[in-house]
Chains A and B, each alone.
Chain A
Amino acid sequence: MARQEALHPGHPIDISPALPAAAAASRPRPVAAERWLIWLFLLPTVLFLVLLLWLPFLQGVWMSFHKWPFIGEPEWIGLQNYRDLFGAAYFWTTIRVTLLYSLSTALQLALALAAALALNQSFIPLKSVWRGVMLMPYAMPPVVVGAIWMYLLDPDLGMVTHYLLSWGIISKPIYWFSDPLWAKWIIMLVASWTFWPFMFIILLAALQAIPESYYELAEVYGANLWRRFRVVTLPHIRGAMLAAVIIRIAWNLAKIEQPFQLTGGGPGYETSVLSILTYRFAYLSGDFGMAFTVGLLLILVTFVLIAPFLHGFQKQIKQARRR
């Protein structure tokens, strides 16, 4: 390169020989300034989640190895809580009803998909009105929705019982919330009715993001309605669907207000999903160690249930990144 310079001197540039190293300017480095900003901005979030979430959680794990009464000294008992729990008959009732309760997610998905597909058609008038109506159950406090269904399902003066009786479908009033057969189904159905709009709004957003040209292309190739759904719609909303399913499974299992309000976990343990069982141990028996043992199992069950969807979701992301 030096040769180049020698060959053609006089242009305004040269490859300069090394200068004596100059002292660094005294100003703070922008990178340092930016790093400062990064940590400052992260601090509140991290502080909140560590102090409010992960520390109490770890404390809870610790508690699960103790006999930990509300008042009095905790006592280390190792795995005794776990042994007691697995040995108890009510625990398996709880697991059964938890699985049934999580089926609510499937029902929510079905409703949400039907509504989103229907509402995404261009010929439907008054879209925003219908959308607003559909969001109502989710927008209201779950306790409000619970109260509404307590009224509608009331065995004496509820509308549902009334119509079922007068149409001859049932012969005598059913005590939906205390009937061992019905109670678990009812809390599942009410949860579905309450929470499906969450999935609906996510699916609708995903549907609206699909470019029209894909449908036109599919039509040019002669795809019928079902094929168009399979080939165009489904692949485009799969990611959103998986994300919604994952969140809903987790939240359905974590939210306690409705079963708590409708049945209180009874009759017996028939509707005591794991989260209710945690609550019963903590506040009714004052056995915090056991409460957390159940809670940890709840986390475990949640993860087992969402694992296949999480796997699918991650595959979906990888594909999306590759595209």
Chain B
Amino acid sequence: MAENIGIRVHNLRKTFQRGRVQACRNVNLQLAEGALMVLLGPSGCGKTTTLRCIAGLEQPDNDDAIWVKGRNITRLQPKDRNLAFVFQDTALFPHLSIRRNISFGLDMHKTYGRSERRRRVNEVAELLHVEDLLERKPHEVSGGQAQRVALGRAIVMEPDAFLLDEPLANLDAALRVEMRTEIKRIQKHLGITTIFVTHDQEEALSLGDVIAVMRDGEVQQVGTSHEIYHYPVNFFVATFIGSPPLNCLPCHVQTDNGALNLASQAFRLPLEAAGGTASLRDHGEIMLGIRPESIAIAPERPDTVAARVSLIEPLGSRTIVILEAEGVELRALVQGETSVREGEAVHLRLDLGRAFFFDNAGNRL
């Protein structure tokens, strides 16, 4: 497998202000050639620093942190790494035409002759549908077009990898969705190893072959969208992913006549429904995490929870129902529209089989 590893980040440590700020504590990532990985996390989690270390814009503390195609490039200058970086605010050169912006990298390296460089720029411009803008200046194109140009400047280099640092953050919502599809399409088409940094979970889930969730300079979990969403390794990942967010309730586990019960302020439920619950027996206080779509409004039964509808947020295809049960606020996600009314007393069925349990340290049980 070693020969087709595109990028490997190995025990990356990066501190600022002489060790006082730890941006990356011990980051390890490995990405196959041609794959697309999304680095996801809240601001300040070290994702951008990691990307900048890969590009050579920051210097890691350790000498063997960055490997591309089996080569240690940790101490190479950025210009010698053959990686393309796309910045959040496009960083197009305002004094150069779009054509010169796209060909900037080629012009600097002069690997190809003038006509060849021209041909390549035209080709990339066509791919990105900016061929009509080539003679304009950056301030004469729209935000979305500027970001396409910035992508073009990266693509034309035929780099070993693309590094994209929140490239869509400055675009408006509709354009962002359109561009992210476009980026995924181009990435698949060209088959170039790509790392995409974002703090937008929806973007991350829709884009990535794999997603690495980061927090406080450490990778929390690496996995596919499915894995990250359905099998979060800890409380942080579980709460960070998901919209509307995960419902969290402090509970304790009780044993009644050999049967396990889960008790909280709002309810007391038998636990046999949940798989692998035996391990919960040893824990007293736990945190229950349950996705809004795992809560359903149902007819009253012994294992349902009484609640009152406090607000309804219709989203068209789905509806968020905000409920209150004994002082605890819960969110349920209902497909389509709902017949319940605000203020109505209802009963909820919690699908504990798809719920998560966390210990005090936030680890998933």
Contact = CB atoms under 8 A, between A and B. Distances in A.
Interface of A: 1, 3-5, 7-8, 11-16, 18-19, 21-31, 33
A15 B30 contact: yes
B interface, size bucket? 35 or more
B223 A4 contact: yes
Interface in B48-88: 56-57, 59, 62-64, 72-78, 80
A15 B219 contact: yes
A301 to B, nearest CB: 41
A252 to B, nearest CB: 39
A29 B75 contact: yes
A16 B32 CA distance: 13
Contacts, number: 90
A229 B242 CA distance: 51
B233 A21 contact: no
Contacts of A14: 30, 222
A30 B68 CA distance: 18
Nearest to A25: B75
A13 B75 contact: no
B289 to A, nearest CB: 17
Nearest to B27: A15
A1 B219 contact: yes
B92 to A, nearest CB: 22
Interface of B: 8, 10-11, 28-32, 35, 37, 56-57, 59, 62-64, 72-78, 80, 209-210, 212, 219-224, 227, 231, 233
Contact of B28 (A15, A22, A29, A31): A15
Which of the listed residues A5, A25, A26, A28 has the most CB atoms from chain B within 10 Å of its own CB?
A: A25
Contacts of A15: 28-30, 219, 222
B75 A11 contact: no
A19 B59 CA distance: 19
A27 B29 contact: no
B56 A30 contact: yes
Given A3-B233, A18-B11, A13 B73 contact: no
Contact of B224 (A11, A19, A21, A26): A11
B77 A24 contact: no
Nearest to A33: B77
A27 B77 contact: yes
Nearest to A30: B77
B222 A4 contact: yes
A8 B227 contact: yes
